[in-house]
Amino acid sequence: MAYFMGIDAGTSGVKAAVIDEKGNVAAVGYEECDIITPRPGWVEQNPESWWEVCGKAVKQAVVKSGAGEQIEGIGFSGQMQGCVLMGKDGKAIGNCLIWLDQRSAPQVKEIEEQMREEEMLSITGSYCLNSYWAPKLLWIKENRQSDFEMADSVLFPKDYLRFRMTGEIATEVSDASLSFLLDVPKRKWSDTIVKRLGIPSHLLPKRLAESQEIVGYLRRSVAEEWGMNPGIPVVAGGGDQPAGGVGMGIVEEGMIGSTIGTSGVIFGCTNQPFVDRQKRAIMSMCHSVPDKWCFLGLALASGGSFKWIRDTLFAEKKAEMAAKGLDVYDFMTELAGKVKPGSEGLTFLPYFNGDKTPINDENARAVFFGLSYRHALGAICRSVMEGVTFSLRETIEICREKGMQVTEVRAAGGGAKSALWRQIQADIYHAKVVTTNMEESGCGAGAIMAAVGTGYFKNIKEGCEAMLSIRNITEPIAENVKIYDEYYETYRNLYPALKESYGRQAEIVAKYFV
């Protein structure tokens, strides 16, 4: 039996899974990560902490599986858009500005002044967003000049972990797509943009691979600590959304996926770069499948919204249930299931740290609208699940506007594990929601890529066919669809009514922030 390891380096934590060639998960390890918020809109993480929790997660999976010496390859899925500056000594310089960070909005405006709209779209497939590498690097250059001058290269989060494992500096095309420095149609760095913005070309990794390519081998010291064989091939892996697409089997044009993790994403596969000429923060990328492209609409705080509810309103219950070996999320979902669709008019906007698709507003903040004495904790839980799903429907409607027939959505993440949340998605999306045997789609993608890279399968499609199978289909309920359509209109009307107030509130917060 051949085994492969998939590592999913997420925002909330790092997960590692040992998976065999038939898609059976032998064991999973997981350790949480902390985020750092030094001021409003700034969100960072310490790269060294990723490495520590990665090691713990991998060792958990290896010990539980008992198959450490049978692992034949390692692959990755990783949070995208994080900017890790690396020094010549091979150490990270300061914290990583992760995808949630909003500080580089002024630099986006600088970039927009230097580039024509058509030029942006033809090279990158997207408008510039403040979460991308280019504006972040310009912010660092302008505000932390000494750090910028010390930098020898820049890496995405998963690439940093792979560097620690192999000693090799490299990245790949799916993550690089959201740097705003990649020529997405040509799948190579854009000399035009690099020169135009004055970003030193030496910072960009010279090795720019496809996701399934081997880019290094496991160091002996790391292998011995983790209980694995030294020299195991390590493939490039992919950004979490393109990789997650592989983990859900979304590898052909027209297929759509919905992932509710810390963030929420609607993801689609295409044969050519997908370009939305309206400024709705649709991100266009190279897929983790060679010769395929993809796109995503991003909601910044989806599962993160549910986690916030857990850690604030259910903190004591969380500790109580954890002591019994139970998950408080199950308790919260049970409460939500007792509430009727629409939460009796309680509508939630999941904008804890701004939002991307389609509003692209760093000043937006979360709102509960319609709260009354009749609403208890169950309604609050359900309204969060519904509000998150409404936010993802906005991207699905863009797909339909572009002529795509969305009748089936493949689901992953926490929102796929809950039967209630799958039903809410089906009812709000107007589409059947499908899950596969691979609940850990990020880890599954890493394992599939590793299996392809080491020659076990000839390509990604063959790997998906061998390791993935349909597990569950949730059909929309007509009566619920009608109810949600009406509440969706309420949801859609709230942001335009609040937009001006969001901007003014941000000014006041900045004025009095100490």
Q: Which domains does the chain have, with CATH numbers?
A: 3-248 (3.30.420.40), 299-436+477-507 (3.30.420.40)
- Asked if residue 415 lies in contact with residue 303, where contact means CB atoms within 8 angstroms, the answer is yes
Q: Scanning the structure block, which residue is given the tokens 């990723």?
A: 50
- Which candidate, 44, 140, 142, 48, places its Cα nearest to that of 100? 44
Residue 258 CA to residue 396 CA, distance in Å, equals: 9
pLDDT at res. 9: 97
Q: What per-residue string of b and e applies to 313-351 under the rule 16 or more CB within 10 Å gives b?
A: ebeeebeebeeeeeebbebbbebbbebebbbeebbbbbb
Closest by CA position to 297, among listed 243, 355, 367: 355
| Residue 272: closest CA among 187, 351, 191 | 187
Cβ–Cβ < 8 Å for 264, 392: yes
- 143's CB contacts (< 8 A; 6+ apart) are none
All residues at 6 or more sequence positions from 260 whose CB lies less than 8 Å from its CB, including other chains: 302, 303, 388, 392, 411, 412, 413, 414, 415, 416, 421
Q: Which residues of the chain have pLDDT under 70?
A: 514
What per-residue confidence (pLDDT) applies to 385?
98
d(CA 275, CA 470): 30
| CB-based burial label for 95 (10 Å; 0-12, 13-18, 19+) | buried
Please give the Cα distance from 408 to 431 (Å, whole number). 5
Q: Where are the alpha helices (DSSP H) in 44-184?
A: 47-65, 105-114, 117-124, 133-143, 145-150, 157-166, 173-176
Pairing of β 71-78 and β 238-239: parallel
435 DSSP β-pair partners: 472
CA distance linking residue 107 with residue 282, whole number of Å: 19
SS3 assignment, position 107? helix
Residue 147 CA to residue 145 CA, distance in Å, equals 5
pLDDT at 261: 85
Rounded Cα distance, 457 and 479, in Å: 45
Measured distance CA(427)–CA(413) in Å, rounded: 18
Best CA proximity match to 167, nearest among 101, 222, 123: 222
Give residue 439's pLDDT. 85
Please report, in angstroms and rounded to a whole number, the separation of the first and last CA atoms in the chain.
Answer: 58
pLDDT digits (tens, 9 = 90+) for 196-212: 999 999 999 999 999 99
pLDDT at 413: 86
* Largest Cα–Cα separation, the chain: 62
Report which residue type is found at 382.
Answer: R
Residue 262 confidence (pLDDT): 85
Per residue in 349-370, pLDDT (tens digit) is 999 989 999 999 999 999 999 9
Q: Supply the pLDDT for residue 514.
A: 63
**Do 328 and 321 touch, CB atoms closer than 8 A?**
yes
Q: Is 327 considered catalytic here?
A: no
Kindly name the residue from 20, 183, 240, 427 that is annotated as catalytic.
240
Q: What is the DSSP string of 176-228?
A: HGGGT-EETTTTEE-HHHHHHHT--GGGS-S-EE-TTSEEEE--HHHHHHHTS
- What is the DSSP annotation of 286-307? E-SSTT-EEEEEEESSSHHHHH
Cα 478 from chain centroid (whole Å): 31
Cα→Cα distances 208→119, 270, 443, Å? 23, 21, 22
